[in-house]
């Protein structure tokens, strides 16, 4: 008689908790819930509720991954210096920024974060740069060459980009950070603020922005080239991922801050694809972290600042399904 073990070389395991990480096609019996389960693969991306920020705010910076994220700065009336750390479930208070700022740029990881630019009130266009070590922020001796708010960033604490922003008008300025100082490099083809960014210092992506745009530009370490357009042109959107596997979400389509959207799109290095479902809460000026398959969107604004967090599971990601008789 043919058996499952004979075909596959092993029996279905009986476990008290679901295994992690998952392998597609893996089958097991959860003896705590009395159910057979299967590791399947998602066909479309989905957003699910995560833990709320301790301080509701908008215009905050983000860094890190879905299960080890950093949210800092922003606006709560007045500007915020608050830093929070996410563990995949809840946010906990971290060390505060030395200078409270809104519409701030961010890069790096939860234990090696980078904050730069923003609006600190006076001056409105900040050059300040700070580094986070997982406990506290340290002011970097030198700041941006061009002070900007509504600025975007990507990369690492020791190898970052600061892209676009606002200096009284939209800016095309791009600067590269080596862990010590900023160097002005090739500007964006078109000046924009409130863009989203993804990727690394030598392989980056900028998309959307103000004036409301669907434009995408890819950076190879020396020049910017045009990429495929977003399906929904917008500004103040969230972004994360890489320049060949990016995620864009939220924002607004018509200034001033009307047409708030939940739209979520995925980039494959050539073109954007609209996901069938978007954020549960349409919003703009939100923070982002993670990857195209495991992203995070947090904070932002609709009519008031938000604290809620949403966790993204992208297409092709392993997920647990309960095997039923139906």
Spatial distance between the Cα atoms of 37 and 59, rounded to a whole number of angstroms:
41
Instruction: For 152-202, give the DSSP string.
Output: EEEEETTEEEEE--BSSSB---EEEE-SS-EEEEPPPSS--BS-EEEE-SS
2-23: per-residue pLDDT in tens?
Answer: 444 444 445 788 999 888 777 7
**Cα dihedral 188, 192, 197, 201 in deg (nearest 10):** 30
Average pLDDT over residues 65-78: 96
CB contact set of 314 (below 8 Å; sequence gap of 6+): 42, 45, 247, 266, 291, 292, 293, 294, 295
257-279: per-residue pLDDT in tens?
Answer: 899 999 999 999 999 999 999 99
Q: How many CA atoms lie within 13 A of 305 on its CB side?
A: 21
For residue 97, pLDDT beyond 60: yes
Q: How confident is the model at residue 326 (pLDDT cuts 50, 70, 90)?
A: low
Q: How confident is the model at residue 53 (pLDDT cuts 50, 70, 90)?
A: very high
Per-residue confidence (pLDDT) for residue 41, from 0 to 100: 66
Spatial distance between the Cα atoms of 238 and 215, rounded to a whole number of angstroms:
15
Per-residue confidence (pLDDT) for residue 8, from 0 to 100: 46
31 or 134, which is more confident?
A: 134
Q: What is the mean pLDDT of the chain?
A: 93
91 touches 85 (CB < 8 A): yes
The helix (H) or strand (E) run that includes residue 216 is strand 216-219
**φ and ψ of 156, to 5 deg:** -115, 170
Average pLDDT over residues 164-177: 98
β-strands 27-30, 13-15 pairing: parallel
Which tokens belong to 37? 């389960």
For residue 24, pLDDT beyond 80: no
Per-residue confidence (pLDDT) for residue 18, from 0 to 100: 85
> Residue holding tokens 């701030």?
104
Domains and CATH numbers, the chain: 4-41 (no CATH), 46-313 (2.120.10.80)
Spatial distance between the Cα atoms of 2 and 128, rounded to a whole number of angstroms:
69
């Amino acid at each position: 008689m043919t058996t499952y073990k004979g075909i596959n070389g092993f029996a279905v395991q009986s476990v008290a908790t679901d295994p992690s990480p998952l392998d597609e096609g893996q089958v097991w019996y959860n003896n705590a819930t009395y159910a057979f389960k299967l590791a399947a693969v998602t066909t479309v991306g989905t957003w699910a509720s995560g833990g709320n920020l301790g301080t509701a705010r908008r215009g905050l910076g983000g860094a890190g991954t879905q299960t080890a994220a950093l949210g800092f700065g922003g606006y709560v009336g007045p500007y915020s210096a608050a830093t929070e750390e996410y563990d995949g479930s809840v946010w906990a208070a971290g060390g505060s920024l030395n200078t409270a700022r809104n519409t701030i740029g961010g890069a790096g990881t939860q234990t090696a974060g980078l904050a730069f630019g923003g609006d600190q009130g006076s001056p409105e266009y900040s050059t300040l740069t700070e580094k986070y070590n997982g406990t506290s922020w340290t002011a970097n001796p030198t700041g941006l060459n061009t002070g900007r708010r509504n600025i975007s960033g990507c990369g690492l604490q020791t190898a970052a980009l600061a892209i676009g922003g606002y200096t009284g008008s939209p800016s095309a300025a791009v600067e590269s950070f080596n862990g010590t100082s900023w160097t002005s490099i090739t500007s964006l083809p078109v000046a924009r603020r409130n863009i989203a960014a993804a990727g690394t210092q030598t392989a980056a992506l900028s998309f959307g922005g103000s004036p409301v745009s669907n434009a995408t530009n890819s950076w190879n370490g020396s020049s910017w080239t045009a990429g495929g357009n977003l399906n929904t042109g917008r500004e103040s959107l969230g972004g994360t991922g890489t320049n060949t596997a990016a995620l864009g979400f939220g924002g607004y389509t018509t200034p001033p801050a009307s047409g708030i959207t939940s739209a979520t799109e995925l980039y494959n290095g050539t073109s954007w694809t609209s996901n069938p479902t978007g954020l549960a809460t349409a919003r703009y000026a939100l923070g982002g972290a993670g990857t195209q398959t495991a992203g995070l969107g947090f904070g932002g604004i609709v009519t008031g600042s938000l604290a809620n967090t949403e966790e993204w599971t992208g297409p092709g990601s392993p997920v647990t399904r309960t095997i039923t008789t139906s």
